[in-house]
Structure formats: C-alpha cells, structure tokens
Amino acid sequence: MTTDQYVITVDELRRRYAGGFEAVSGISFSVARGEIFALLGTNGAGKTSTVELLEGLAAPAGGTIRVLGHDPYRERRAVRPRIGVMLQEGGFPSDLTVTETARMWSGCTSDARPVPEALALVGLGHRAKVRVKQLSGGERRRLDLALALLGRPEVLFLDEPTTGLDAEGRRDTWDLVRALRDAGTTVLLTTHYLEEAEQLADRLAIIHRGRIVTTGTPAEVTASRPARIRFALPAEVPAGHLPLSLRAAADGQRIEIRTHDLQESLGELLHWAAQASVRLEGLDARSASLEEAFLEIAQTDLAGV
Ligand SMILES: Nc1ncnc2c1ncn2[C@@H]1O[C@H](COP(=O)(O)OP(=O)(O)OP(=O)(O)O)[C@@H](O)[C@H]1O
C-alpha cells in the first residue's frame, strides 16, 4: 500500500501535559481509506490523549500526524470540514430538542446532511421533538453520533461510541459503522469493549502506558496467545496425576491448562480422563480471545512491570 492510501498516519507521536507527564510516548500507526481502526487500552493508557491530537485539538510534544494529508493542528481549517468527531461527552444545552440541537450543529457544518436523515441514520427519528434532557444515556450517545455524521465526514473519530447503549443499540451502531466503512468512510474508534473491537475493527492497536504494545488484525493479535482449558478434578484425584505433557496450573482441584495446540492438548486430556475414568467438572476449552490478550497486558500493569 502506498502512503497516499493512508488517510491517517501517525509517527512517533508524543503528548505531554502541564507538569511534564507524558501520556503518549512515541506512538506510530497508519489507517487506510475505508478501514475501521480501533485503539484499545486500559484506563489512562492514552487513547483519548491520542485521539485529541488526531482531531487537531492540541499540538503534539513530538512526532508527526497527517490526516487526509494535512497536519490536523496547524492546518485545522483544511482538515476540520472533512472529519466527524464524536466526543465522550457531547455537552449540549439540555433544554433544546433533538432537532434544534442538530440544526444548531448543522449551522456550523458545510454541506450538512438534512437533519432528519442524520437522525434516521442513528435511529433517533422518533425522538426528534424530545428535549435532550429527556433522552436516555444511550439516546444521547446516538445524538452525539448523528451530529458527528452531519457533515458527511471522510474520517470519523468515535471515542467510546457505544458506552451506555443496550445490546440492541450497540449492534445497531456496529451495523451503521460498518455501513459507513463500506461506503468509504475511514473510522478510528476507541473502546473499552473488547467484543466491539473484535467484531468491528479491521485492525487495532492495544495501547499501554502511552505506547503501542500490540497491533494487527484481531486475528493476528490473538494468534500468538495460548488457548486455555479449565476444569475441576474430583477430590480424590491429585493434579499430579495429569499427563506431564500438559502444562497445568492448579488451584486446589481447579486446573487451568494453557496451550498453543488446543486440539492436541484437549485430545490428550480427554484420552487420559477416559482411561482413568475421571470426570472433568465444568470442562471449558476456548481459543485465545482479544480479552485474553488484553488481560495479559493489564496484569503486567498490576504487577508494576
Ligand atoms: N489534562 C490533563 N492533564 C494531566 N494529565 C492528564 C490530562 N488528561 C489526561 N491526563 C493523564 O494522561 C493519561 C492518559 O489519559 P487518557 O484520557 O488519554 O487515557 P485513556 O486511555 O483515554 O483512558 P480511559 O480509558 O480511562 O478514557 C492518564 O494518566 C491521565 O490521568
């Protein structure tokens, strides 16, 4: 892929706050046109600090950013009309109705979509005349998204877009984001929901303490992680009786096996259990998920490494 196909390029990006704390410490990644890219990370990892720089809200302490070929901070006027931003807290006057709020926003947007179209996109058409303060938390998130879509953005920044949405609302938002991507919109999102990143992202980066620790497609990120098998042994069978080739960790009778070849390890375990007439209570075997990858990183944090 040539550099022009990348809509966002970030190279050795740094952000420092007053007092000298460095929240972003040399992050690099690129997002291609029509791609959904997710930034994942523990609380305080530096996701919002990064996204704000991409949106041109602050100047980086180091490194470079190009959004649609421009520096989003210095060339804000060239970039701003072509991007849509959904912030974590929209903060709109709560006495206005949904339509009034969207009209107010539309007034600041060039070539805006008709307000009813934007509201229909996010499933808020039936709430058009309701005051913002009467909306549920999930409906407010949808309004934030409708406002981000008003300007038909080429690049859409979504900071935790489905926080507060119920399961159906979350799926509707995923469908909408996919449809926007399929129509050519480039999407950069941050999320706390690992399932959301797994379902939605074409590629993702996990940020930890201001640095990218893993990046790739969801399948690539999980491929290097071990699968796990969990079960409990009957009280009369000590963990030491398990085949030595299975790398098992025991907590009393509760066993966890980690393996890079789930089929072989599971086959060996079941063969041993059948031969020894042992019942494996609560047997659960699963491939590595993004959650596992993420928890491993979060645990490093707890261990203070
Ligand atoms: N204005 C600020 N001044 C000083 N430090 C800040 C400021 N804003 C954020 N930070 C610090 O920078 C770090 C990164 O914060 P940031 O909000 O970017 O993380 P995040 O990954 O978005 O977290 P979360 O998932 O909790 O939203 C945190 O340690 C935070 O306390």
- Tens digit of each residue's pLDDT (9 = 90 or more) over 73-115: 999 999 999 999 987 666 667 789 999 999 998 888 878 899 9
Any idea what DSSP says for residue 113? P
Nearest CA to ligand 1 atom 23: 44
> Measured in angstroms, how far is the CA atom of residue 48 from the centroid of ligand 1?
7
> Measured in angstroms, how far is the CA atom of residue 19 from the centroid of ligand 1?
13
Q: Can you read off the two tokens belonging to residue 250?
A: 């025991």
**Can you give the pLDDT at residue 3?**
53
> Measured in angstroms, how far is the CA atom of residue 18 from the centroid of ligand 1?
12
> Measured in angstroms, how far is the CA atom of residue 132 from the centroid of ligand 1?
28
What is the mean pLDDT of the segment spanning 163-188?
90
What is the mean pLDDT of the segment spanning 225-249?
89
pLDDT digits (tens, 9 = 90+) for 42-67: 888 999 999 999 999 999 999 999 99
Q: Predicted confidence band at 305 (pLDDT cuts at 50, 70, 90)?
A: very low
- For a substitution probing ligand 1, which of 13, 14, 16, 17 has the most ligand atoms within 8 Å of its CB? 17
**Can you give the pLDDT at residue 301?**
55
> Measured in angstroms, how far is the CA atom of residue 71 from the centroid of ligand 1?
22
Work out the angle between the directed axes of helices 137-149 and 98-107 (0-180°, nearest 10): 30
pLDDT digits (tens, 9 = 90+) for 193-225: 888 998 899 999 999 999 999 899 998 888 878
**Can you give the pLDDT at residue 88?**
66
- For a substitution probing ligand 1, which of 48, 51, 159 has the most ligand atoms within 8 Å of its CB? 48
Q: Which atom of ligand 1 is nearest to the CA of 42?
A: 25
Q: Which atom of ligand 1 is nearest to the CA of 15?
A: 12
- For a substitution probing ligand 1, which of 13, 14, 15, 21 has the most ligand atoms within 8 Å of its CB? 21
Any idea what DSSP says for residue 261? -
* pLDDT mean across residues, the chain: 90
**Can you give the pLDDT at residue 110?**
79
Nearest CA to ligand 1 atom 4: 17
Helices vs strands, H then E, count in the chain = 10, 13
DSSP labels for 146-200?
HHHHTT--SEEEEESTTTT--HHHHHHHHHHHHHHHHTT-EEEEEES-HHHHHHH
CA-CA-CA-CA torsion for 185, 55, 63, 9, nearest 10 degrees?
0
For residue 302, pLDDT beyond 80: no
Nearest CA to ligand 1 atom 8: 49
For residue 10, pLDDT beyond 90: yes
> Measured in angstroms, how far is the CA atom of residue 60 from the centroid of ligand 1?
15
Specify the higher pLDDT residue, 116 or 248.
116
**Can you give the pLDDT at residue 1?**
53
Residues with CB under 6 A from ligand 1: 17, 21, 23, 41, 43-49
Any idea what DSSP says for residue 201? -
Among 218, 182, 222, which residue's Cα sits nearest to residue 201? 218
Distance CA 143, CA 91 (A): 11
What is the mean pLDDT of the segment spanning 234-245?
90
pLDDT digits (tens, 9 = 90+) for 131-157: 999 988 888 888 999 999 999 999 999
Distance CA 283, CA 232 (A): 7
> Measured in angstroms, how far is the CA atom of residue 120 from the centroid of ligand 1?
34
Q: Where are the beta strands (DSSP E) in 220-304?
A: 227-232, 248-251, 254-259, 281-286
